[in-house]
Structures are given as structure tokens and as C-alpha cells.
Structure 1
Amino acid sequence: MSSWSCTRGVPHIVVAAEFVQRNLTADNLTVDNAKNALIFYLVFTRALKAYRHVRARGIVSVVQDAYRWVMMRVMNLIISSPWVRPQVEAEMAKAKEGVQRSLVPHGAIRRLTLPAAGESLAQILAEMDEMDSAMPEHVDYREGKLSGAVYHGGEDMEEIIVAAFKRYCVSNPLHPDAFPAIRTMEAEIVSMCLHMYNNPTGAGATTSGGTESILMAVKTHREWASATKGITEPEMIVPESAHAAFDKASAYFKIKLHTIPVDLVTRQVDLKRVRRAINPNTIMLVGSAINFPDGCQDDIVALGKLAQRYNIGLHVDCCLGSFIMPFLEKAGFSSAPFDFRIPGVTSISCDTHKYGFAPKGSSVVMYRDAELRRFQYYVNPVWLGGVYASPGLAGSRPGSLIAGTWAAMHYMGEAGYIASCRAIVGAARHIAAAITAEIPELRILGSPPASVVAFSAVEGSGVNVLVVGDMMSKKGWHLNALQNPPGLHIACTRLTVAVKDDFVRDLKEAVREAKESPDGKGNLVALYGLGTSSAIGPTMVGTLINAFLDALYQA
């Protein structure tokens, strides 16, 4: 237990121990006193947990959560009744069928078992062509109308990556003695990223993507807190704008999650609420540079001071900022501090497969030092199959991805990334400026410093921003929908640069159309309208999403 915890009130274990000592002396050792001591301990510890919970969430949020919980139970009872359930089930069945129909083409004959004999390359390619023609029309990402998702480095980059794949297609980093070049490439990728984020003496590891990088950082801090502080009921404090991977880590690793609101204007996490949520079980804080929903950056300097003061970890999620944030200043843009130069930052995640233009499925998690990284490892020295160790979740990994990432980073070089940053951020700021100056019905969320521009409808404008999103979809744009407040965002890429004026023109037209049809019936309106329709709305959306995930695996 840290010295800080004692200054905030005598630790509950000490209080309980003193009570037990007073009541369990040699002269007073009775069954009743033992019961009283146990009851006191249980009541005290639960009261302390309740106090910490209310302190972290705030009374208003706790009451709102309780109200939502009660209303959800009431709605569940209503829709489970024999009068309502058949109607609900019929409507949900229609919705599920619609989801399935949109993903799984009807009438297409597919092979569900292995072919009797192997096929030639020509046969395989012909079958791929047939499959493409039978499926719904693919999005042509080269048109630049896709928000994020495809971070295309150009056809020349594709050639570089494919060449690296071909050379190392059977390699596996699990066996560094058999594939020493891949081991070297992986170490160099981590080193290059550490230098980018101003921690050349730090440590890191490659992962399969931003989610795994975040999962590993959370797991590492949990193990560190357990080993160095004896924390057995870990908690972490996360802005509500942080990536959903932190919620996933909370569920996977059984860590209590405190979600802190962001300021409505700056879109930065509320530091007072963060400080109030810290307690002796806190293992880490989280900040984003930049976050996914609105592309804004938390005050990492202030979070670093809190992390230092209370001797806890601070993870900075730079997955989306990746190869944009480190080059902002060199590209001529202003930049608030966000990396290892800030005392208190203990880990950073960076996706090489985003603005690093590496192949999909590659990311890096970085730590301030190698000592902290060791808590990420899994080691089993007594397994019957021999000594087993792996740095992350995966055992075997595709060395071809590492080779492709290494090749992409070498092909771009620092000058290439600076130029890319200048073009992409320039396009994002062009779009943000145009929305502010030319579309009064919309407002930019916060002050995004990098590649993402998020916007919502101005109150009283008569515009439903989700209808705007559906109208943009009809024009070929694929934007990300946001919640609380409802909004849309575009993550600009190199492909967006050439069509930034087209985006502004189409957005103006979509706003005009949305004003003429404020109660549209597109996909965004239907999905997010259902989610906010009642207390049971999120559960119903969850049911539909489960149907979507099931459909992904229907052949």
C-alpha cells in the first residue's frame, strides 16, 4: 500500500484489524465477538467500495445509472410479457433477416467442403472473380470516400509490401533461431517507433493491431501493480472518448473501469473527475492523442502529473495518431506534448498499419523501460512441451507482416512521413475550416489537431446529423457515426486529399437534403434511433449486432 493511501484516511484493513484486536483479546474471545468482527469487516469494506464508486462516478451519474438499470428491468418485463413478446420477436426477426441478407448473398452457390482435388492458380483466380461478381458491390476505396479503414500508401507501396510478403511468407517470429532476419526487422520496427516517440532507451513489442497493443498495455500495468503494490482488485480510469478496446480489456482482465466524461467544448477528459476517481486500487490512467470519436487530444501533461503524484501508470493511445502526431511540428503544424518526454507517461500504443502505411494487422506497444515490458510477457518454464514464452497474446505470428511493415517504414522514411502528414492534416483542416465558415448548421467538435474532423448539428438548426450521414452514404461517402452527442467524423487519408473539396460540396448538399427530410429512414437513423429509443434500446441494438457477427461466419 502506497504512503499516499494512508494520507487519505487509514486503510480499511488497518481499521478492521484494530477492531478485531479490541474484540478478540484473551479475556473477550467469544463467538459473538468473532461474528461482530467479521460483520464489521464485511460492512466496512463494502461501504468503502461504495464510497469510492460514488466518488469516482459522482452522485448524479450513480443515480442515472440506477434509474437506467430499473427502467431496463421494467422494459424487459414488459417485452417478455405474452402480449408484447410475439410482436417484438417478429420485428427483431425481420431486422436480423435484413442484416443477414445484406451480408450473405442469396442464390450464390458456394463450396462448403474441401475440393476433391487441388486446384490450379488459374482455377483459384477464376473462382475469386466469380465470388467478387456474386457479392454486393465492393467499395472502391481509391475514390477517397472511405473514412479511415484503408490507409493506402499508393500502388508503389503495394508493390513493396507484396515483395516483402513473398520473400518471408512462411516465416514465424516464434522461432527467431530459424528466422533471424525477421527477429532483426521486428526489433528495428520497435526501435524506430521509440525514436519517433522520443524514448530511444525504452522498450516495446509488435502486435496484431491497436486493440492488442491496448490489451497488452492494460495487462502489463495490472501485473506491475500486483507485483509492486499488491493490488488484487485493480481499477483503471479512462476518458469516455477513449477507444472501446479499454472496455474490452476491462472485461477480459477483470479490471474495474471508471469512465470519465469529457468537456463539452474542449472534448478533453475532465481532470477534476479523473483525480477524484483515483484510489489505492488504481493501476493506470488513460489519455488519447488522438481519440477515435472526435480526433481530439487529452491534456497529457496534466495526466502525467497525476500519474506521477499517485505512482500509477499512464497509457497514451496514439493508435490513430500513429505516424501523424510525431511529425506535426516538422510538417509546420502546432502540437501539444503527448509522448515519452512527458514525465509520468509509462506506455504508448502506435498503429503502424494506419498512417505508417504498413499492411493491416500491425501495431507497436511501447514502454518507458524494459523492466515494465517484462510484465507483458507470458512464461511457462514447466510445460511438458518444453519451456514456453511469448511476448504477447499470440504464439505463432506471420513474419510476412513484420517484413511488410519494416519495408513500408524504410520505403517512406522520415521525409516521406513528414510530407504525408502535411498533406493529410492540411486536408483535414481545410474541411474543418469550410464547415465552420460555410455550413452554419454544423459545428466542429473540439479542436482536432491531426487527421480527424468530427461534427454535430447545431442545436435549433433543424438538422438531424444522422440523416446527414445517410444522405452522404447515398453520395458514396462512408463516414463514422458518433454518439453522445450524435455526430459524424471523417478520418482523412492520403486518398482524401484529392477529394476534400468534393466532400465539402457533398456535405453542403446533404445538409440541405436533411433539412427537407429531418426524419429520414436510413441505416444510421434506424440503428442509432433504436439505441436511444428507450432503456431497452441498447440491448436491442446488441441483439442486432450479435446477428451481424453471426452472419459474418455464415458461408
Structure 2
Amino acid sequence: MSTLSIPRIIDVAEVFKENLTLDTAKNCFLVYFFAKRAFKLFQHARARGFIRSIKDLYLFIAQRTLRVVISLPSVRKKVETEIDAARALIDRQLLPQGKDVVRHLELPKQGCTLGWILDAMDQMDREAPSQTDYRDGKLSGAVYHGGDDMDKVLVAAFQRYCVSNPLHPDVFPAVRKMEAEIVAMCLRMYNNPTGAGATTSGGTESILMSVKTHRDWARAVKGISEPEMIVPASAHAAFDKAAAYFGIKLHSIPVDPETRQVNMKRVYRAINSNTIMVVGSAINFPDGCQDDIAGLGKLAKSYNIGLHVDCCLGSFIMPFLEKAGFSSEPFDFRVEGVTAISCDTHKYGFAPKGSSVIMYRSSDLRQYQYYVNPEWSGGVYASPGLAGSRSGALIAGTWAAMHYMGEEGYVESCRAIVGAAKIIEQTIQNTFPELYVLGKPPASVVAFGSRVPDLDILEVGDKMSKKGWHLNALQNPPGLHIACTRLTVSTAETFIRDLKEAIWEAKGSSAGKGTMVSLYGLGNSSPIGPEMVGVVISAFLDALYKA
């Protein structure tokens, strides 16, 4: 104040007021608006990388251009013709055909007897026989059969608790106790006995709940209103679904082509002030490999963000690898920074379908999963997850399966299943020069692709289908995978023999019209183009509900 008098300060203020016009305010707003958008664009480009950002821009322009082209009458007619043909093919594959098909489209006037119902079910099985009998052991994953004795255990549990509903714990206290004990057992399997969790209807709901929980935690604790999460390209599609459902920006990070682990440098570059969580898999679905969970944990802890480890497929295999005699990298709550883990009890836990567990490091974090409405006119409403009413029979079946197997049973199951996967993996690496194994799968899944130009791996998949195998087709890169189960253990040698024949049959041949080739080649080979793939998939979903 010694060099600037009070009147001088007043003069400066008057000049500022005179120039604070509406135009100045508009200009300030525009500067703020474009600066904010430029910063978001910078963050997006930093996360994606320059080349990926250019590809994204190209794809954006190409898709919009394609929409204009498709709207032209001549092109639209051709597209509609192909889509109609695709719908017809889907209907032929999924819907029972023929004049003798019996359709039940309305309630019968009078109730039917149990004998009639069983006969009608037999009739439906004859009308549309399954192309794959899971008992033959030629099915990749899908059915995680615990054996005929386990079936009896599950049926007994279902019969005892078939009408129970955990929404009413005072009416069904035993179901409440069993559910709590399922969570407690899983937490101890994953080395977090003081943690918290909840049961869900499957791996997708477990992942949805975890994403919702981390979003709400970040909003309450860190004030994040525009949440983003960082997910490996190999992670389950349920994370993309969660992002779509809950309004979260998702950064898909590429994986190393050799190790199949998420690129840690790219994960680091994608973290910003809006990041709520990162994701790692142990193991992932496409190629059965495990991300660097310890490295992701360090990043998550350093930036105070969540780390969800997806063990839905690893479930009751990963916790028992070492005890079964196999090597294992850190993946559970012993890794600092891990805040949540999903585990499907209905996979290698052999529980009935529709059963999974989401686990958290602490009960404080689990609070953000709950939905509570204290002002509803029907009374105070609260639920731990998406569902209100749930099946107590599924909980009872899960509890029964876990007790029937016990730790020794799961260790032996892990030893047999992973042992079969290792036989397949090593045989492919050492015996089939045309193929290569994706990454270094530690558990029950083996994925492989073609290393020679004259062998279309999807054509191999179609040849395997004709031999009764039901494998999973992959893309980016194209490949096949087999998820070994207890049923696969006795068929590993058959798989190797059939794969050898399929390679010989497919080698040098042009791509055919099999299911894998036509579906996964649609985006590149069909005039419909990638923009219309979703239309065909929607037709497939529509067909599921055609009576």
C-alpha cells in the first residue's frame, strides 16, 4: 500500500467495471467452454494414444458415411435383402420347424397333470434336439457339471427351499444364514476374512454392482461427477454393459500381443482426475490369461482409485492352483490396492446357474452398493443388489454344493481340470506348427490362433463343430478357445485328435459358410458392413422370444 494509493485502486476497479460488459462475459464463457473441451480431448487422446485416436476418428467418420450410403434406395434394398436372409437363417437354426410342432401360446383351460407336463417336455426335446450333448465333454465351458451325485445334492436343496425368498429374512432365516456363510467362505478363499460381500445372479451382476459401487464411492468421497474407468480390451463385456447402464466413460486399453496382459504404460496414461477404477482379470474370458494384478494394485493405491479383479471365470480354480501343484501369480486381496473381486460360484464351484459373489475389501465400500429408499409409500425399501425378490433355492443349492465339495474336492477338481488344459496347451505348442497359443494361460482356458496364411482358424472351428465340438470363436485376433471342465478331462486326447483332423481339412481351403465364418466374418466380408452387425445380433435376440 506504500506505493499504490487508495484512490488508484478505486480507479482500477472502475475501469474493470466499465469493461465488464455482456460481450466480455460471453467471451469468458466461450474460453471456459472450449478450454474444458480441449482438456477432455487431451485426456481422451492421452488415454487412447495418437494412433488409436486417429483410428477412432476414422471409424467415426466411416460409420456416419456408411449410414448415408445405406440410406440410398439401391443400397438399402440390398442391405434389407441380406438382413432378411440372416433372420431366416437364425430362425431355421433356433426355432423348431414342421407341421407337427406343438405350440403352447395360451394358458390351458384346466391345469395339466405332472405326467402331461413331462410328456410335453419330452415332445419339445424331440422337436428341437440339441446339437451338442454336454455329457460328451465336447462343450467349451457353459455347463460346469459337478457330477451325477452333485445333481442329487442340488435337487434336494432346491426341493427343500423352492419357495424361499431372501427378501424376507425373518420368514426364511436359514436362507439368510446360508447366504452370509457363502460370502464368508468366498472371502476366506480370496484371503480377506474381514471383508464384505453379497451374492448375485451371476458374474454380470457382480461386475455391474462393483462398477456402481465404485462410481457412488468416487462421487461421495472424491466428488467425481463425470466418472471414467480403465478396462483391458480382454476384459469381460459386462464392464462395457456397466458403463452403458451407469453413464461411465470407458477407456479400453490394448493388451500385449505376446503376454496378453494389459499394457501397464497405457493404463497409467489413461488415469486422470475422473478415474474411479481400473480392472484386471484373473483369468479373462477370451484367452484365459491373467493381467498383472500386482502392478495394477500399485497404480490403484497410488492414485486412490478402485481395482476390481474379475475372477468370475477363475472362480474356484485360481484360489486352489498352488495347492493343486501349479504356479500362480498374485491376484487376490493379498495384493494391496485390490478393492473388489467377483467370483462365480456357478462355474467351477458347481453351484446351480444364477449364482455369483461380489466381494469388497471392507464393509464401508459395500455400503455404496446398497439401494435404500426410506420414503416409499409401501414402507422402507432396501435391497443389496439389483434384484428385489430372489430365489432362496439358488442360495441353498450353492451352500450345499460348496459343502459337498469341500476344500479337498476343489483342489482335486482344479488339479484334474487344469491338468487337462495343460495337456492341450503343450500339445498345441509342440505338435501343431500351424497354431500358436495366446499368451501363457495359468488355469482352465486355452486359446489358439493360426500362424500360417493358408489356415483360417474360424474354418477350423467350423470343422470342429461338425465333429461335435462346441468351441468359442474369438476376434482381434481371430482364434478359438476351449474352457476345460470336469467333463473335458476324459476327452482331452479326443480333442487333440479331432483338432489334427480339422486342421488338415481346413488347410488351404477357402472360407466356408459355417457359423463361425459367417458370424465373425460378417463385418469384413458382407456388404452389410460392420455398422449393421448389431442389427443381425438383435435379430438373434428377437428369435429367442419367438414362440
Return the TM-score normalized by structure 2: 0.96
Distance 1:298 1:543 in 2: 33
Instruction: Answer yes or no: is 1:344 the counterpart of 2:337.
Output: yes
Contact 2:79 2:527 in 1 (8 A): no
Instruction: Answer yes or no: is 1:335 the counterpart of 2:316.
Output: no
Q: 1:421 aligned to 414, 420, 426, which one?
A: 414
1:109-508 equivalences in 2 (<5 Å): 109-460=102-453, 462-508=454-500
Q: 1:89 aligned to 75, 80, 93, which one?
A: 80
Structure 1 residue 138: Cα displacement: 4.8
Instruction: Answer yes or no: is 1:62 the counterpart of 2:57.
Output: no
Give 3-state SS (helix, strand or coil) of 2:436's partner: strand
Partner of 2:92: 101
Distance 1:23 1:260 in 2: 54
After superposition, what is the alpha-carbon deviation per residue over 1:386-419, rounded to whole angstroms, capped at 9, x for unaligned? 0000000000000000000000000000000000
The verdict on how the C-alpha distance between 1:25 and 1:336 changes in structure 2, with shifts beyond 3 A counting, is farther
Letter in 2 for 1:465: I
Contact 2:253 2:263 in 1 (8 A): yes
The verdict on how the C-alpha distance between 1:552 and 1:253 changes in structure 2, with shifts beyond 3 A counting, is same
Contact 1:72 1:536 in 2 (8 A): no
Give 3-state SS (helix, strand or coil) of 1:518's partner: coil
Letter in 2 for 1:414: E
1:509-548 equivalences in 2 (<5 Å): 509-533=501-525, 537-548=529-540
Letter in 2 for 1:377: Y
Q: CA RMSD in A?
A: 1.4
Contact 1:481 1:524 in 2 (8 A): yes
Distance 2:60 2:499 in 1: 38
Distance 1:192 1:538 in 2: 45
Give 3-state SS (helix, strand or coil) of 1:331's partner: coil
Distance 1:68 1:403 in 2: 49
Q: Which runs of 5+ in 2 are unaligned?
A: 1-12
Distance 1:23 1:345 in 2: 57
Distance 1:297 1:137 in 2: 33
After superposition, what is the alpha-carbon deviation per residue over 1:61-116, rounded to whole angstroms, capped at 9, x for unaligned? 11111112222222222232122221221121111111012111123121100000
Give 3-state SS (helix, strand or coil) of 2:74's partner: coil
Give 3-state SS (helix, strand or coil) of 1:109's partner: coil
Letter in 2 for 1:474: K
Structure 1 residue 516: Cα displacement: 4.2
Give 3-state SS (helix, strand or coil) of 2:507's partner: helix
Q: 2:69 aligned to 61, 78, 84, which one?
A: 78
The verdict on how the C-alpha distance between 1:63 and 1:324 changes in structure 2, with shifts beyond 3 A counting, is same
Distance 2:375 2:37 in 1: 39
Structure 1 residue 37: Cα displacement: 1.5
Aligned residues: 533
Give 3-state SS (helix, strand or coil) of 1:284's partner: strand
Distance 1:138 1:455 in 2: 24
Contact 1:378 1:389 in 2 (8 A): yes
Structure 1 residue 27: Cα displacement: 5.3
Distance 2:251 2:527 in 1: 21
Give 3-state SS (helix, strand or coil) of 1:61's partner: helix
Distance 1:36 1:503 in 2: 69
Distance 1:352 1:24 in 2: 71
Partner of 1:17: none
Contact 1:198 1:340 in 2 (8 A): yes
Letter in 2 for 1:38: F
Distance 1:444 1:503 in 2: 15
Structure 1 residue 30: Cα displacement: 1.9
Deviates more, 1:137-146 or 1:445-454: 137-146
Q: Which runs of 5+ in 1 are unaligned?
A: 1-21
Letter in 1 for 2:155: V
Letter in 2 for 1:298: D
Partner of 1:52: 43
After superposition, what is the alpha-carbon deviation per residue over 1:291-335, rounded to whole angstroms, capped at 9, x for unaligned? 000000000000000001100000000000000000000000000
Distance 1:438 1:277 in 2: 41
Give 3-state SS (helix, strand or coil) of 2:521's partner: helix
Partner of 1:15: none
After superposition, what is the alpha-carbon deviation per residue over 1:419-453, rounded to whole angstroms, capped at 9, x for unaligned? 00000000000000011111110000000000000
The verdict on how the C-alpha distance between 1:23 and 1:218 changes in structure 2, with shifts beyond 3 A counting, is farther
Identity of aligned pairs, percent?
A: 69
Structure 1 residue 25: Cα displacement: 5.5
Deviates more, 1:516-525 or 1:168-177: 516-525
Distance 1:405 1:56 in 2: 41
Contact 2:164 2:393 in 1 (8 A): yes
Contact 1:239 1:269 in 2 (8 A): yes
Distance 1:138 1:181 in 2: 40
Structure 1 residue 28: Cα displacement: 4.1
Partner of 2:4: none
Partner of 1:18: none
Distance 1:127 1:23 in 2: 90
Return the TM-score normalized by structure 1: 0.94
Contact 2:66 2:531 in 1 (8 A): no
The verdict on how the C-alpha distance between 1:121 and 1:295 changes in structure 2, with shifts beyond 3 A counting, is same
Give 3-state SS (helix, strand or coil) of 1:532's partner: helix
Distance 2:254 2:37 in 1: 25
Letter in 2 for 1:417: Y
After superposition, what is the alpha-carbon deviation per residue over 1:188-221, rounded to whole angstroms, capped at 9, x for unaligned? 0000000000000000000000000000000000
